[in-house]
A = this chain, B = another copy of it.
Amino acid sequence: MPAASPASFAPDSGPRSAAATPQPVDLILTDIDWLVTCDPAMTVIESGAVAIRGDRIVALGPTDQLTARFAAAQRVALTGHLLLPGLVNTHAHAAMSLFRGLADDLPLERWLFEVIFPAESRHMNADRVHLGTLLAGLEMLQGGITTCCDGYFFEEAAALAFQETGMRAVLGQGVVDFPAPDLADPSRLEDRLSAFAEAFPHADGRLKPGLFCHAPYTCGPATLQRVKGICRERDWLFQIHLNETRDETARLTAEHGEPPTLYLDRLGVLDHRTLCAHAVWMQREEIERLAERRTAVSHNVHSNMKLASGVAPVPAMIAAGITVGLGTDGCASNNTLDLFREMDRTAKLHKAVSGDPTVCPARQVLHLATLGGAAALGLAELTGSIEAGKKADLVALDLRQPHLTPLYDPVSHLVYCARASDVTQVWIDGRRVVQDRRVLTLDGDEVRREAAAAGAMIGRGR
Give chain A's interface residues, CB within 8 Å of chain B. 1, 97-98, 100-102, 104-108, 111, 135-136, 138-139, 142-143, 246, 302, 304-308, 310-311, 334-338, 341, 344-345, 347-349, 351-362, 400-403, 405-409, 412-413, 416-417, 419-422, 444, 447-448, 451-452, 454-456, 458-459
Alpha-carbon distance A409/B103, docked complex (angstroms): 9
A407 in contact with B101 given A305-B351, A348-B306 (CB within 8 Å): yes
A451 touches B405 (CB 8 A): yes
Known: A105-B360, A421-B421. 6 other contacts (CB 8 A): A143-B403, A305-B348, A308-B354, A335-B412, A345-B345, A406-B452
A358 touches B101 (CB 8 A): no
A419 in contact with B416 given A304-B352, A451-B405 (CB within 8 Å): no
A407 touches B452 (CB 8 A): yes
> Which single residue of chain B is at the shortest CB-CB distance from A456?
B406
A101 in contact with B139 given A349-B305, A416-B335 (CB within 8 Å): no
Alpha-carbon distance A341/B338, docked complex (angstroms): 12
Complex partner residue of A101 from B341, B351, B417, B447, CB under 8 angstroms: B417
A336 touches B417 (CB 8 A): yes
15 residue pairs from A and B, CB less than 8 Å apart = A101-B408, A101-B412, A105-B357, A143-B403, A306-B357, A334-B416, A335-B412, A336-B416, A345-B345, A401-B448, A402-B448, A406-B452, A406-B455, A408-B459, A421-B421
Residues in chain B near residue A451, CB distance under 8 A:
402, 405-406
B405 touches A308 (CB 8 A): no
A400 touches B345 (CB 8 A): no
Complex partner residue of A308 from B334, B352, B452, CB under 8 angstroms: B352
B349 touches A349 (CB 8 A): yes
B104 touches A412 (CB 8 A): yes
Alpha-carbon distance A443/B403, docked complex (angstroms): 15
Complex partner residue of A402 from B358, B408, B447, CB under 8 angstroms: B447
The 3 A-B pairs at the shortest CB distance, nearest first, are namely A406-B455, A421-B421, A305-B348
Residues in chain B near residue A349, CB distance under 8 A:
305, 349, 352
B308 touches A356 (CB 8 A): yes
- Closest beta carbon of chain B to A3's beta carbon, Å: 12
- Closest beta carbon of chain B to A116's beta carbon, Å: 13
> Which single residue of chain B is at the shortest CB-CB distance from A104?
B412
- Closest beta carbon of chain B to A336's beta carbon, Å: 5
